[in-house]
A and B are shown apart, each in its own frame.
Chain A
Amino acid sequence: MAEMWINMGPQHPMTHGLWNLRVKVDGETIVDAEPVVGYLHRGWEKLVENRMYPQIIPLSDRLCYGASMSWSHLYCLTIEELMDVEVPERAEYIRVIVLELQRIASHLMWLAAYGTDLGLLTGFVYAMRERELFLDLLQSVSGARMTYNYMRIGGVRNDLPPNFERDCLRTLDYFEKKLDEYEQIYDGSDIFLMRTQDIGYLKPADAINLGVTGPTLRGSGVKIDIRKHDPYSVYDELDWDICTHPDCDCYARYRVRMDEMRMSCHIIREAFKKMPDGPVRVKVPRNAPKRTAFARVEDPRGEGLMYVIGDGTDRPFRLKVRSPIFVTVSAVPIMLKGYKVADVPAIMGSVDMCLGETDR
């Protein structure tokens, strides 16, 4: 049969965000695939060369709007590395708490979107309902629903609001019960299992070679998490584990994210137990020294890295963002080859696309 290229995107229900997947099909079977990105490219790295260091924090929120807290945290971490700033311990614990809340919110957004991809609309409704709880918590901390602008270079903007610990723990108790309910919905659905199990196979060796990180890598059974592997903040003082799954398919990635949500609840509880009192922010210099620095974190989607060059002024000379999904998308053809066109939403949904950070 003749092979042909078809476009899925830029406007397609499968694309979470704005990109184009060109697939070469032989009948229904995918022979080759080629992602086309760049529809959201706004030259972020060039724009920030015109902004002062604190002005970049709200822009870094908009790098990945699904997980804006972790991107502004990565930015602040990089600039702290550049300016040699020591962050107060209480601020580090607050950061861990809000980052994990953000991770749960981001994974819930993914779960909701995955539900709609696979025709499980109940999953969408339930996951979005619980996501609002976490957005409310983050809103009570920062004042915004999605783009928080809460991290600061040298700490966080303000202390936690009164009764935050009580509200947060209560939400976690409620949420963990709901998480069991999701598992019943998703794992109890034969359609969901048929559309995810043994679909989108990614060998561990391929995953490492192609630079895939995050839940997609851990879904291939590789036990790597930057939070343990290259610890930042106070993650090495907390007691937690890396969640992996050996199946290498879409179901494994779903499993890893579900386990990560549970683990995040555990980390937040641990952090509240150990959180000391004290200041939440230190003063930082206005100008950065003439040197380079980089930092990397475990974003909800994988390894985020920022590389900054300071030139003695109050603006960065160059700021490079390594986005996890940018690299994961380049590995998508390997996952897609040999499967049917109808499997594309299942496979692409399982890598949790976020185009804001991919295109920058």
Chain B
Amino acid sequence: MTEEAIVDAVRKAFPEGVTIGGVAPRRIFARADRAIIYKLCEFLKNQLKFDHVSCVTGVDRIDRFQVVYHLSSYENRCVLEITVDIPRDDPEIDSISPLWGGANWHERETYDMFGIRFKNHPRLERIFLPEDTQFFPFRKDFKLGRQ
């Protein structure tokens, strides 16, 4: 499938909630709503053969959080970047690790660093920092020592 065919299929299946930001060779950029992310990922995995999660990460945009997914398809040879905005006072989103086991630790790391909670995650605990840490270090309001 070419990038355009993937974009058309996504647009057809999700007329609302997904905006395609741009298409480049082997790259698709999209934005999605928080509510449909699990359904979107399920569709991508089962219908469009996106079989590999490259990366799941969080971003602190100061006024809001973002969760960025990089999904890649081995067969279609393309990477899909999905950006999801979530409000800062309610950082919660559906987990995609039931779909791809590879997303499990990425989501744990995002929780550890940003405090973004992933619903239905099998084990949402701190991964890098000690269990008793009281802060989320990658948030922008956490300042480093000599900053």
Interface residues, chain A, with chain B CB atoms under 8 Å away? 37-38, 41, 43, 45-47, 50, 206, 208-213, 222, 224, 229-230, 294, 296, 303, 305, 307, 309, 318, 320, 322, 326-327, 329-331, 359
| B46 contact set on A, CB distance < 8 A | none
Q: Please pick, from A38, A210, A294, A309, the residue contacting B102 in the complex, using a CB distance under 8 A.
A: A210
Nearest to A229 among chain B residues (CB) is B77
**Do A322 and B51 form a contact, CB below 8 Å, given A294-B70, A296-B79?**
no
Residues B102 and A211 in contact, CB atoms below 8 Å apart? yes
Give chain B residues whose Cβ lies under 8 Å from the Cβ of A229: 74, 77
Q: How far is the CB of B79 from chain A (nearest CB, A)?
A: 7
> What is the CA–CA distance of A15 and B101 in the complex, to the nearest angstrom?
24
Residues of A within 8 A of B68 (CB): 307, 320
Chain B residues close to A by CB (< 8 Å): 26, 51-55, 57, 59-60, 68, 70, 72, 74, 77, 79, 81, 100-106, 109, 113, 127-130, 137-138, 142, 144, 147
Cα A43 to Cα B138 with chains together (Å):
8
CA A330 to CA B77, docked complex, whole Å: 24
Q: Other than A209-B51, A213-B52, A307-B70, give 19 A-B pairs with Cβ distance below 8 A.
A: A37-B128, A41-B128, A46-B144, A47-B144, A50-B144, A211-B102, A229-B74, A230-B79, A294-B70, A305-B55, A305-B70, A307-B57, A307-B68, A318-B60, A322-B57, A327-B102, A327-B106, A330-B101, A330-B104
Closest 4 CB pairs of A and B: A211-B102, A38-B128, A41-B128, A322-B55
Q: Is the beta-carbon distance between A210 and B70 smaller than 8 angstroms?
A: no
Interface residues of chain A: helix, strand, loop or mixed (majority): mixed
Q: CB distance A208 to B52 under 8 Å?
A: yes
For A46, list chain B residues within 8 Å (CB).
Answer: 137-138, 142, 144
Question: Which residues of chain A are near B100, meaning CB under 8 Å?
Answer: 209-211
Q: Which of B53, B55, B74, B109 has most chain A Cβ within 10 Å?
A: B55
